[in-house]
Amino acid sequence: MATTSLEGHTLGKYRVLESLGRGGMARVYRAYHPQLDRYVAIKVLRSELIEDDLPNEESWYARFQREAQSVAALRHPNIVQVFDFDAEDDVYYMVMELLEGDTLKTRLNDVRIRGEQIPWGEIVRIMLDALDGLAYAHSERMIHRDIKPANILLSKNGQAVIGDFGIAHIIGGTRHTASGALMGTLHYMAPEQGMEGTCDARSDIYSLGIVFYEMLTQRTPFDADTPLAILMKHIHDPLPLPRQINPDIPEPFERIVLKALAKDPASRYQSAEAMAQALRAAAEEATVDLPTRISLPLSFTTTEVPSESVAVISGTTRQVLAARQSTGDVQFADDETDITLGEKLTAAPPTQAPSPPDTESREKRRQRPPRKYSAGRAVLNGILIVLLGNLLLVTLSVPLSNWSIFETGWPAQIFLAALGLCFIMFATGSIWMLIPTGIVLGTGLLLAYSVLNNQWAHWEYSWVLQIWVIALSVVSPFWLSRRRWFARGVSRALAAFLGLIALVAILAIVANSVTGSIPFAQELLELTQSWIETWNW
């Protein structure tokens, strides 16, 4: 049976109705199973992938059958279900569930045409669905090997479902003895997969990290004119930071991208579960609300979507994309699975050699995600600031024989504590540290006023300021925390400003205690009283 035209033919129990599209490894058809009264999708493997000269007297069909059984055993709502597999007249095919919806590739191209952006919450929901499917498959010792937007389906039920799970596995499993058998999509391929032909769960995580990058920025990070040049960029080039392309991207999402796309597999997330957990925490930090389901594909919700975008990018849609890409307005990657990557990379000229080792190590250092300052270390350093401050005060008191620093300058201890809290607030970037820092610093300022001026009688009026200090210190973090990536920068700026106030107050108290001179606060008080008397007159 000729594999070029199966429409109207029967494959086993299935009546082939129409072609749905084709990719690098298979052609997809819609078919009907009359006994079960069910429509299915049939993927027919390309004939050039079939090998008849396998070693150890094992037939191609026997290996295809073994690998397909492993794929068909996968049962997960975020993985396209494989129902059946067989061969007929040298036509090898797999039967799987037929899902209504668009691919993520189609959704991305649709928003590119409109100059829009997929909402952050929907991006995270797509990623979490895909990670759930990968986590299950990896637990079953199954690696996808070809994660990309074209293989992520957005179903009419509002779920992201991984498609083609097993096609690359089956072809790779039956071709691993052949020379140059590397296949896949270089724009989304992990460095170790392209360079060494080896892959594991972390390779799938890298590929999904590229998909995440593309959803955030609407472009893939690495592109070039030749396959080897693209591979060399994956291996050696620093990652273009997503927030440099789109500053509106939440900073926690950029951290997820940096870790997922680490050049060294050991530096990435070691499991899909770990990446999903980090992504949920990043969404919470960025105060991004997660929808319970993905919005319906555009082809089901609007008539404005070009009809050809549902299946393939062609016609007027392709012209629009090509025009916008030529101006640099949008970029889209060629995500066709290439079954001849091995041959292309082997035949590449030696002039496209890898970068020197020193360049690689330098770029790897630039690739590392920013280090987090642990809260425990920040607290320890804050305590050290208090201890060091007291040591300096003792050192100053002994040669001057002036212990008034501790007798009358005791508010300096409160400001030392406030200075330590400011350090913790700056190091951790936590806006919630404003509560204890503001209360301690405000209390210290009120007490310092009374100590420096010996005006404790004023306390019966000034205590109401303490209530305002506490109220502002408690309310401000709640107001600022509504935009957490904004609050992190504000908290550090406030920590620096409040720390400067604490440091100036300490120096003023120490100077007053050592010299015994009239404090500048008394002069300020007299000036204020004079101003009040003038206006009362």
Active site amino acids: 146
DSSP 27: E
CA distance 514 to 537: 39
Q: Could you give the CA distance from residue 499 to residue 426 in angstroms, rounded to a whole number?
A: 9
Q: What are phi and psi of 52, to 5 degrees?
A: -105, -10
How distant is the alpha carbon of residue 173 from its chain centre? 31
Contacts of 271 (CB under 8 A, 6+ apart): 135, 138, 201, 205
101-103 and 26-33 beta bridge pairing: unpaired
Query: Structure tokens of 141?
Result: 């010792």
Place of tokens 């990446």: 275
Whole-number Å distance between alpha carbons of 258 and 261: 5
Q: Which two tokens stand for residue 420?
A: 């330590």
For residue 82, what are the β-bridge partners?
A: 96
Q: Edge-to-edge strands of the sheet including 101-103?
A: 101-103, 152-155, 160-162
Give the three-state DSSP class for 153. strand
**Residues 6+ positions from 431 with CB-CB distance below 8 Å:** 477, 480, 481, 484, 487, 488, 490, 491
Distance linking the first and last C-alpha atoms of the chain: 110
Residue carrying structure tokens 């930090």: 285
Q: Give Cα 59 distance to the centre of its chain.
A: 44
Cα 151 to Cα 168: distance, rounded to the nearest angstrom: 11
